[in-house]
Amino acid sequence: MTHGAPIEEVVTFRAGHALLWGILTRPAAGLAQSTTAVLVMVGGPQYRVGSHRQFVLLARGLARHGFASLRFDCTGMGDSEGEARGFDSSGPDLHAALDALCKACPALERVVVWGLCDAASAALMFATSDPRVAGIVAANPWARSDASLAAATVKHYYASRVLEREFWLKLLRGRLDWRASLGALAGNLKGARAHHRGQSDPRHADSFQTVMARGLASFNGRVLLILSGKDLTAKEFLQYADSSAPWKGLLADPKVSRVDLPDADHTFSRRTWLNAVEDETVAWLKRLGTRRVDA
């Protein structure tokens, strides 16, 4: 049986004094709707459409498999009112959006929060304590600081750069500013050493990265971690999780499933990569348990 296009409708709701706007995408008429729905949390300085329409395509793909979703503009972004604020202050937006999704789909039994980059970080910080949330999809989570960026750059950028033919051609032809390059390398090495020293620094106890770790450690639901192989943000996250005491062992927990897309970039800009993200998300959603949202 062939079904029509997904059904899309505008949803508005308030987070504090700000009116937020979103798009609810439902399965086409005649297609059974799952009792699991997805809240798409938009990260970075963008709105609900996403880079190269990735969130529109994801929402419609989910609807074709029976999953309703809500993607929305955070406070101060896109059509939503208010002053823009950082992801580490987006808890009220996330919880208000959860309220709106559950109100629009009263038959829901569970909600999954899907986030890219710092939206994935926000989900781990703020969604894990909400009893309605049974799962989180975290794509290329953000764990950046100046020191951690330097450490990831030293480990992943310079090692691959010296193996590139273009690098040696530029050097031999005198087109490489080696003084500036050496200065940058020295600065990154200094930052990398600071990063490794900082993992045991008690001043980092309330950093957003540590709050993410606490959220993941306390979460009773499931997590799907999607990582791009050609993304420095993803590499930086893995390096941070591997070297930080609060993150020790968290990614090896059975509740965390991991998918690596070796050739993908940060926003899955090619359709084949976005299709892979959709397929992995749908397969994971279908395996998700039957945890119900609270009445």
For residues 97 and 254, is the Cβ–Cβ distance under 8 A? no
> What pLDDT score was predicted for residue 223?
98
> What pLDDT score was predicted for residue 3?
77
Q: What is the pLDDT of residues 266-278, one digit of tens each?
A: 999 999 999 999 9
Three state DSSP letters for 173-237: CCCCCHHHHHHHHHHHHHHHHHHHHHCCCHHHCCCHHHHHHHHHHHCCCEEEEEEECCCHHHHHH
Among 241, 33, 255, CA closest to 141:
241
CATH entry 1.10.10.10 includes domain 7-144+208-287: no
Domain with CATH 3.40.50.1820 in the chain: 7-144+208-287
DSSP H/E element including 72? strand 69-72
Q: What is the pLDDT of residues 115-172, one digit of tens each?
A: 999 999 999 999 999 999 999 999 999 998 766 555 555 554 545 555 556 645 555 6
Q: What is the pLDDT of residues 198-254, one digit of tens each?
A: 444 444 668 999 999 999 999 999 999 999 999 999 999 999 999 999 999 999 999
Among 149, 233, 232, CA closest to 184:
149
Residue 91, both tokens: 């808890």
Alpha helices in 88-145 (DSSP H): 91-104, 118-126
Spatial separation of the C-alpha atoms in residues 153 and 18, rounded to whole Å: 39
pLDDT (average), residues 89-103? 97
